[in-house]
């Protein structure tokens, strides 16, 4: 894994070494519990019906997290980019099969840590508990915000917020996936983009 370590996203290093003040020894120990994986575009990190036994740091690439509705249509919950964590955390904690699919949309690099290894690391590095509490609060807040947006914002408002937060998203994510995320048809998204572009 030594060669791969040279290419770890600087935000991963900053998070643990600066934000949570890991010592070099603690950081090296924590990193030793990870496995570096390359995943091909369109491959799945997780499928519905599987149990989630690990978390993965998205070092490079992007992914989509989606479920299937009662009619079998894909409903994208969110996109993940560099410096995001992947996993079905309900399944991770309950040990039961999950309902989410996580698919990579680009050739990607993941740092994967199993549940067993994370628990070992937690026993040896007390700061990990503080970090994970911080991470779960952020995740819960993002989920609440997403639900609130779907309830209160129009499709156009959701679109404008999306491109404000992820200005390069159309260069990385296919149009039909963005439409699914916004809960509109691809044709409607194309018309909306054209109309808003012509405004400026």
pLDDT, the chain, mean: 89
Which CATH superfamily, name and number, covers 2-125? Answer: Jelly Rolls (2.60.120.10)
Question: What pLDDT was estimated at residue 17?
Answer: 84
Please tell me the pTM assigned to this model: 0.88
* Residue 174 DSSP code: -
**Per-domain boundaries in the chain:** 2-125
Lowest-confidence region among 52-66, 134-148, 177-191: 134-148
Q: State the helix-helix crossing angle for 127-152 and 155-165, rounded to 10 degrees.
A: 150
What pLDDT score was predicted for residue 5? Answer: 58
pLDDT surpasses 60 at 2: no
Cα–Cα–Cα angle for 168, 171, 172, nearest 5°?
95
């Amino acid at each position: 894994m030594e060669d791969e370590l040279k290419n770890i996203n600087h935000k991963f290093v900053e998070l643990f070494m600066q934000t949570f003040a890991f010592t070099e020894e603690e950081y090296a120990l924590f990193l030793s519990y990870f496995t570096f994986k390359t995943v091909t575009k369109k491959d799945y990190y997780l499928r519905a019906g599987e149990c989630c036994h690990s978390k993965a740091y998205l070092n490079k690439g992007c992914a989509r997290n989606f479920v299937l509705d009662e009619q079998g249509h894909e409903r994208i919950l969110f996109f993940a980019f560099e410096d995001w964590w992947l996993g079905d955390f309900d399944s991770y904690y309950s040990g039961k099969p999950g309902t989410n699919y996580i698919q990579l949309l680009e050739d990607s690099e993941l740092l994967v840590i199993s549940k067993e290894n994370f628990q070992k690391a937690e026993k040896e590095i007390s700061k990990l508990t503080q970090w994970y509490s911080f991470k779960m609060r952020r995740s819960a807040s993002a989920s609440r915000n997403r639900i609130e947006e779907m309830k209160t914002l129009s499709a156009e408002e959701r679109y404008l917020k999306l491109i404000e937060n992820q200005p390069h998203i159309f260069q990385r994510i296919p149009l039909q996936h963005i439409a699914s995320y916004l809960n509109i048809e691809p044709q409607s998204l194309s018309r909306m983009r054209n109309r808003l572009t012509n405004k400026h």
